Structures are given as structure tokens and as C-alpha cells.
Amino acid sequence: MPERIPDIIDLALAEDVGLGDVTVKFFTDPTASTTALIVVRQAACLAGVDISAEVFRRVDSSLEINILRSNGSMLQSGDAVLSVFGNSGSILTAERTALNFIQRLSGTATMAGAYAKAVSGTGVKILDTRKTTPGMRALEKEAIAAGGATNHRMGLYDMVMVKDNHLALGPGIKDLQASITRARTENPHLKIEIEADTVEQALAFFLLQGVDVLLLDNMSLADLRKVVADRPHGITLEASGGVTLDTVREIAETGVDFISVGAMTHSAPAIDFGLDFKRAR
């Protein structure tokens, strides 16, 4: 489990449980034990089941937890993904936080799977973006991978990406080349990507030395085809901007290598999961 994930779980429990679960305190038998299942209510791709399990452990380390389906599994309505046995009150206290993680992460995985399926056979890979929930990036990127899409850079530190706002500060081609050369020299292991908004800009950037990826932002299909036709050997092309499930296939068929989709993390609908009790004793 990534190092920061326990902190996220602790934060989530702190905001929900606070000083204690007063409903459990007054309305459950503290000696009662229960078996419960987390069950999906709709077709989905699973992600976050391990995080949900950790939530239960964090609330009560004596709970017996069994993960029934692995992340990346395709689910049908009614499938159980996790079972938990132990103190009834502890299970109830952990329930909402555990479901919050699994429903949101599975929503991201499910949407990622839909985009990956939409471009199947084209050779194009679907990329995620940095448009993630603050503090949840590692988990959301794991969900993207579980769904069958591909992770882009994790943050500002693991890839050079010169976007339109960097270019808006006014560097000319000579300044860009000097900066690219310096970045390549000081960080030879990092990929360098630069954004182009027009065909003319893309053609100019093709002349730069040391660029690995050209990001083609909000270009029409016709313009994407023009850039693809003129690209030099060794340059990878990524399309982005306003991509939907209705348009992603035709974008892929222009010949680009990657399509980045922010919606997978910023707009994925949560999947309906519930916790069902099986017996009490």
C-alpha cells in the first residue's frame, strides 16, 4: 500500500467518526458479532477493495476480512467483493467510509474501462491526467490502471510538460530549445512533452530537438490528421481536450498514439455498492 494511503484513511475516518459513533454506542449490543458482505448493485469494474478492507482493519483490528474479488474484476449486480466478520458496531462504524472509497474508485475504473474498450483495436492508449481528487491521486491512478487505461505522469516532478500557460509567458523557439536542452541535460531520465494548439504550432515544435511527446490540444479531426501525416520519426502524439465516449474512437482513428481523458477522474459517477448483513449472534 502506498505510503500516504494510511493517512488518507485516517483522515476519512476522522471526519466521519470524530469523537465516536454515538448511534452504535446506544443502539447496538457491544457483544454482538456479525457477518457482512460488500455487494455491488450494478455492473462495474472493481477498484479500491483493498482500501475498503483497510478501513475495516483500522476501525477494529480484530475483524476478520476476506477479499472475494480482486481489483480489475468485472462485476455483475449482486456480486460480493468483500466479507467481514466480527463486532457488529465496528462494522457499522466502518461501513460508510469503506463504501465511499470503493464506490468512487470503482466508478473511475469503470469509466477507464469504457474508454479503453472504445478504442480497442486502434493501438491507441487512454491516459489519465492530474485532474484528480486532492490527496487521492495514487488511489485514482491505481483505479485507472485496474480499468485498463494507462497512467500519465504522477505529478510535476516525474515528467517535463510544457503547456499553454508556460508558453503564454512568452518564450520564443530559441528560448524553448535552450530550456529543453538544459532540462534534457540535467534530467536525462525524464520525458519531455510540449503542448500545441494549432497545426502551425505543432509543425514548428517538430523542429525542436529533444522533445518526446507533442500534446495536441482541442484540435479538430482534420487538424489531427495533418499533424499525424507530418510528424517526424521518434515523436509520440497525444490528443486531448473535450474527449467523450462518443468522440474518442474517431480521435483514435486519426493516428495519434495517446488520448488523455480528465473525465475518468474528475467526472466518473460512483458505483452503487452496499453492505448486507448475513447473520448475528
Residues serving a catalytic function are 96, 131, 163, 195, 217
Distance between CA atoms of residues 198 and 229, nearest Å = 14
The span from the CA of 247 to the CA of 20, in Å, is 48
C-alpha 242/C-alpha 196 separation (Å) is: 15
3-state secondary structure of 53: helix
HEC string of 209-263 equals CCCCEEEEECCCHHHHHHHHHHCCCCCEEEEECCCCCCCHHHHHCCCCCEEECCH
> What residues have CB less than 8 Å from 68, skipping those under 6 apart?
80, 81, 82, 83
| Planar angle of CA 177, 178, 183, nearest 5 degrees | 95
Q: Residues near 209 by Cβ (< 8 Å), separated by ≥ 6?
A: 177, 180, 181
